[in-house]
Amino acid sequence: MKNKKILLANSLLLLALLLFIIVPFWAIKIFKLVRPISENVSLLLSGSASVIVLGGIALLYCIITKRKFKNVMVIKKISIKQAYLTMFVAFGTYIFAMGINAITIKLFPFAIKDGTQISNLLGGSTMLLGLLVVVLVPAFFEEIFFRGIFLDAYDGVNKKIKYFIITSIFAAFHGNVMQIMYVMFLGFILLMVREYTGSIVGSMTLHAANNAISFILSKVLMNYMRSGIEGSALKSAQEANVTLVAVLIQATVAFLIGGAIIYTNLRKLKEYKDTESRAKRVGQEENNEYLKYVVKDEKNLNLTKYIPLAIYFVSMVVIVVNKY
């Protein structure tokens, strides 16, 4: 059953990739949109595609596995304490990301284009639409897809391998160099919060808070720039011209401050979970030990379940290479 769920999830991942390419194209044709498309329309297309594709595939996964949606996704209420600790984790994650992005721009100057496009997309959209598409839609639909379907499908797989696969899938899905390193890091933190809160609501809260910080700051910064594209491009060019030593110092400061905030609040989340559900955690550990033996027994089984995953990563590499 475990192998079938992994094969199903990996196959649905390929379907999602295909639909994300097709759905916006169909929408442009159907509504006869003329390029260049405005920031608001671009966000609307992106948000609609996420709802249709990720939401539809999540429901399809539940239907095929014959299980309730909330059970597959592990939708449980989290406490107020868990919620505000998660908010602090989001704040630390954003600071840490500043260091990652600084290094990314320095090592891969062509990624400046990605940063410029993202900044202008966020800055040029209306506040209400941005909050809906950038904050709420990804927080729900990306979580039920990446931390819902895949955590369920890969249940019983070695934790390190499982986390690496899920974070890699999540990062590759964003399809640009500027975001890939940061999203790998964010994906790992999302998985940790999902684990420590025992609910996908925890990772949804972190995802929404992180995106809200990015969106609001982008809107604020755009107000101080001379103009959209020119101002963003100027800022990115200035960042690219900073010496490597200065970038490393800036990144180190961001890593130390952001890392300290993340570590402190993740530890508190874990302690809270251990205190509130010690008996349940012991039972879960016993179940995980059983699953380890199951994994060992299945080592000799065929690897066909990973073929769709390999095709996905090859496809994303081709897409990104062609993009640049």
Q: Which residue did the predictor score with more confidence, 75 or 241?
A: 75
The SS3 assignment for 211 reads helix
Per-residue model confidence as pLDDT tens digits over 169-211: 999 998 888 788 899 999 999 999 999 999 999 999 999 999 9
Cα four-point dihedral sign 197, 210, 80, 260: positive
% of the chain at pLDDT higher than 90: 54
pLDDT tier, 225 (very low <50, low <70, confident <90, very high otherwise) = low
Length of the chain equals 324
Residue 240 has pLDDT above 80, yes or no: no
The C-alpha atoms of residue 173 and residue 49 are separated, in whole angstroms, by 13
User: DSSP string spanning 305-318?
Assistant: GGHHHHHHHHHHHH
Q: Which residue did the predictor score with more confidence, 75 or 322?
A: 75
Tell me what the pLDDT averaged over the chain comes to: 84
Per-residue model confidence as pLDDT tens digits over 120-130: 777 777 888 88
With a CB cutoff of 8 Å and minimum separation 6, the contacts of 228 are 120, 123, 124, 222
Residue 287 has pLDDT above 50, yes or no: no
pLDDT at 40: 83
pLDDT tier, 293 (very low <50, low <70, confident <90, very high otherwise) = very low
With a CB cutoff of 8 Å and minimum separation 6, the contacts of 121 are 39, 42, 43
The C-alpha atoms of residue 124 and residue 23 are separated, in whole angstroms, by 23
HEC secondary structure over 148-163: HHHHHHCCCCCHHHHH
The C-alpha atoms of residue 24 and residue 87 are separated, in whole angstroms, by 33
Domain map (residue ranges) of the chain? 2-323
